Amino acid sequence: MEYDDQMKNRVKRIEGQLRGILRMMEENKDCKEVITQLSAARTGIDRTMGVLVSSNLIECVQEANAAGNENTEALVKEAVNLLVKSR
């Protein structure tokens, strides 16, 4: 699978959030502020995972169809399992 610039930018944004959280901790910021930012980073990670899984699923289904394999149910189940395991 190829990772496009949009996906990479999502990860870079999360990386920046994590650096900001570490800086907040070093500056002894209020716990509620740190937790809010940690929650935002986690949401960013969850959304990025969803984008990756859905993009991969689309790619796999297209490849299966091109190969003449109409049974894509297993591919969908695998994608759902990846999302479920990530929780």
At residue 57 the predicted structure's pLDDT band, cuts being 50, 70 and 90, is confident
5-85 has which fold? Methane Monooxygenase Hydroxylase; Chain G, domain 1 (1.20.58)
**The model's pTM:** 0.77
Q: 34 with 25: CB under 8 angstroms?
A: yes
Domain boundaries, the chain: 5-85
Q: How far apart are the first and last CA of the chain?
A: 23
**Per-chain mean pLDDT for the chain:** 88
Residue 87 has pLDDT above 70, yes or no: no
* DSSP for 31-57, written as a single string: HHHHHHHHHHHHHHHHHHHHHHHHHHH
For residue 66, what is the DSSP state? Answer: H
pLDDT digit string, tens, across residues 16-46:
999 999 999 999 999 999 999 999 999 999 9
Q: Print burial letters for 36-69: b (CB count within 10 Å at least 16), e (below 16).
A: ebeeebeebbeebeeebbebebeebeeeeeeeee
Confidence of residue 9 (pLDDT cuts 50, 70, 90): very high
